[in-house]
Amino acid sequence: MAKKAARVARGIKSKGTAVVRATGKKVVRKVAKRPTQKPVAKRAGAGGSGGGLAMFVVDAFTSRAFHGNPAAVVLCPGKFPSDEFMQALAAENNLSETGFVVPGAGAIKLRWFSPCVEVNLCGHATLAAAHVLWQHVGLTATRLMFATRSGKLPVTRADDLYELDLPAKPGKHVAVTREMTGAIGGPVAEALLAEDLMLVVDNKRLVHECRPDFAALKKLAGRGVIVTAPGSGHDMVSRCFYPKLGVNEDPVTGSAHCTLVPYWSSVLGKARLWSHQVSWRGGELWCELAGNRVKLGGHAVTISEGRVMVG
């Protein structure tokens, strides 16, 4: 009793979410309000029934869980949520990309958001979206067509191997600068600029050991920075850095191969390439340059399935 009286005398006692304060002779008990969330109407949609939107986390460009590049895929029956909601959910997920899919009879609408911004093209989240539609929604067509900011993007399926068909984005040579070498902490042999800045180094060891200065990378041209070299066993190796998009290093980047594949196809003199992105998670892509298109083959693994209960 003495201890209890002492706590009240000090003016505060905790009890669950309640706060008790001594105010003169009276004791006032205030209950902290719980934060409210906007209720979601019960509805049935692709990927299951019940409230909210179905959301999956898929590791793309790998056949092993917890490798490759994870993407969230959100199924949106009928229409997209507001831009503000999609950006907030992508920030909450804190993955390199969250893809929002509106299934339909024709082209399937697809948009991609990083934790900071909406992006124009994302290969691994497109592959993840196709995987969800085939494996969890039950679509049976062997070819899906997505309508995106980058135009119509087909994805085909042969057993458990998926093939993306993306626009090629060859880089144009630019002068190598001290800022480039300083940002990646090593010598740069060539620099090419497309949507991303691609820095070619002499050997794969330099790619593996690259310890970039992310503040310096933000000051370079391009959406992000690709560091690449010839492979050993693979035709090429690479790592991809996107601090401007809130992603310091992207584990496996399909869109970067729209620039990597035209370059290495020209250097090596062949259209079909095997690529290894040597991030801490790692991933492999089977690549082909087909005219002005880049075809990327890879696997995918579902990690989790749930529902978004606000919106």
Query: Which residues have a catalytic role annotated?
Result: 97
Alpha carbon 274 to chain centroid, angstroms: 22
State the Cα–Cα distance between residues 239 and 247, nearest whole angstrom.
12
Which residues on adjacent β-strands are paired with residue 148? Answer: 151
State the Cα–Cα distance between residues 7 and 217, nearest whole angstrom.
54
The alpha-carbon radius of gyration of the chain (Å, integer) is 24
State the Cα–Cα distance between residues 127 and 154, nearest whole angstrom.
10
State the Cα–Cα distance between residues 254 and 256, nearest whole angstrom.
5
For residue 236, the SS3 value is strand
State the Cα–Cα distance between residues 246 and 98, nearest whole angstrom.
13
Residue (of 113, 61, 57) closest to 282 by Cα position: 61
Q: Are strands 42-45 and 48-51 parallel, antiparallel or unpaired?
A: antiparallel
> Which sign does the torsion angle of CA 207, 213, 219, 224 carry?
positive
